[in-house]
Amino acid sequence: MRKNPNEKMIGLFLLIGLIAFFGITGKFMADKIISQDDEQVVMYFDESVKGLSVGSPVVFKGVEIGKVSKIELRAALDSMDFSIPVYARMLPNQDINPWYKSYEFRKKSLDHFIEKGLRARLATQSYLTGQLMVELEIIPKAPIVLRHKKQGNVLEIPTVLSPIGELSKDVKNLPLKQITERINTILGDLERQLPQILPHFAAMSQKMDRLVSKNGPALTDVLTNLNKTLYDISNAAKSFKNVADYLERHPESLIRGKKGY
């Protein structure tokens, strides 16, 4: 005779399975979706972050120590100033990241790195796709500019312009208008004087042609004699070098003579 299934045991297994499922799902949501300030830093960039995305690596000395977790765009409508805060979640398995310690310890450690020159800047991850990454470097002389208003336990790393950003800044600071005006002035003067200059160039060219045609044979003789003279000088230099080498090897020949030696 078949036994009826134990409904209580089945219900217990289902309950345990549901608790485990919701526990694992809740932990995943907390780790991946809910922002954990204790593991994040923020960096404010003053240049375009096109090519940077959530998941882009944060590297130090070529080693990945974190990933970009959020990118925002903030605007002050009264002054029309824009800022781009980039948040990154640091990996706790790197010795440089003390994010598994208390907030006071993390802040003290990061302040020490910043005083020594720790700065963040954008760097090219792939020239083929144009993807960017955040690169941390020690740049001692770079100014420390902090903008983040304390929210939770998020810490801030100061930033500097990337090499491309520095180049763009230098180009923007060039007096392009004045340079263009000077070039236009020079071209205008040249255009006005060109009709007067060209006849002089043509006359000079004709004189040079006549001079070469008239003195062609004489110039050929001069060049031939010059080549012969240079050849004789070269041979004389070789002979002198041979004598000097012989005297260096046999200095007693100056007294005895070559035959005596």
For residue 5, tell me if it sits in a domain.
no
How is residue 2 annotated by DSSP?
A: P
pLDDT in tens, 203-219: 777 777 766 666 666 66
Show the domain range for 145: 37-166
Same domain, 162 and 220: no
Cα distance between residue 51 and residue 165, in whole Å: 14
Cα distance between residue 161 and residue 46, in whole Å: 7
> If we measure between CA atoms, which residue out of 92, 94, 96, 90 comes closest to residue 118?
96
Three-point CA angle 181, 186, 187, nearest 5°:
95
pLDDT at 141 (0 to 100)? 85
Cα distance between residue 111 and residue 114, in whole Å: 5
For residue 176, tell me if it sits in a domain.
no
Is the separation of the CB atoms in 60 and 136 below 8 Å?
yes
Q: Hey, which of 135-139, 159-163, 204-208, 223-227 has the most confident mean pLDDT?
A: 135-139
pLDDT at 251 (0 to 100)? 63
For residue 171, tell me if it sits in a domain.
no
For residue 258, tell me if it sits in a domain.
yes
pLDDT at 260 (0 to 100)? 47
Q: Hey, which of 8-17, 23-32, 103-112 has the most confident mean pLDDT?
A: 103-112
pLDDT at 35 (0 to 100)? 44
pLDDT at 190 (0 to 100)? 73
Q: Hey, which of 23-32, 119-128, 141-150, 191-200 has the most confident mean pLDDT?
A: 119-128
Same domain, 41 and 158: yes
For residue 88, tell me if it sits in a domain.
yes
3-state helix, strand, coil in the chain (%, to 5): 50, 20, 30
Query: Tokens standing for 4?
Result: 């009826």
pLDDT at 33 (0 to 100)? 47
Same domain, 51 and 158: yes
pLDDT (average), residues 65-87: 86
Average pLDDT, the chain: 76
How many CB atoms are closer than 10 A to CB 52?
A: 20
Per-residue pLDDT band for 131 (boundaries 50, 70, 90) equals very high
